[in-house]
């Protein structure tokens, strides 16, 4: 591997600031408050299922189109970055599923 170092990173505080800004924008777009939006897309909702499915689709896409691409396979640094993206999406899918699937079953039982 070379001495390549990723150049972009954000502090947890910067990431949280971006998240809150985007949450407000998403709520404004739907004419809701951030709290109403969070409730509408909570685990067990169709919106949460969409997020879980999106993580799965993008995880598969990163794997197929990047991790298996010859240019990526030929470069250890690029492969490491692509693999980290795929792994992050897998972890996101698992994190959403851990709360969404049980909540979905609870809603079905009601």
pLDDT at 108 exceeding the cut of 70 = no
Please choose, from the candidates 55, 56, 79, 85, the residue with its C-alpha nearest in 3D space to the C-alpha of residue 67: 79
Q: What letter would DSSP give residue 30?
A: T
pLDDT at 38 exceeding the cut of 70 = yes
pLDDT at 5 exceeding the cut of 90 = no
Q: For residue 107, name the pLDDT band (cuts at 50, 70, 90).
A: low
| Residues 93, 49, 23: CA angle, nearest 5 degrees | 85
Mean pLDDT value across residues 66-81: 96
Q: For residue 7, name the pLDDT band (cuts at 50, 70, 90).
A: confident
Q: What is the pLDDT of residue 110?
A: 61
How many Cβ atoms are within 10 Å of 83's Cβ, its own excluded? 15
């Amino acid at each position: 591997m070379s001495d390549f170092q990723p150049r972009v990173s954000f502090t947890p505080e910067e990431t949280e600031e971006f998240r809150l800004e985007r949450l407000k924008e998403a709520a404004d777009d739907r004419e809701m408050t951030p709290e109403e939006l969070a409730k509408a897309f909570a685990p067990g909702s169709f919106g949460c299922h969409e997020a879980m499915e999106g993580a799965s689709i993008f995880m598969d896409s990163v794997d197929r189109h990047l991790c298996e691409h010859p240019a990526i396979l030929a470069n250890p640094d690029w492969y490491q970055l692509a693999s980290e993206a795929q792994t992050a999406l897998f972890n996101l899918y698992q994190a959403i599923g851990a709360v969404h699937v049980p909540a979905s079953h609870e809603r079905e039982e009601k």
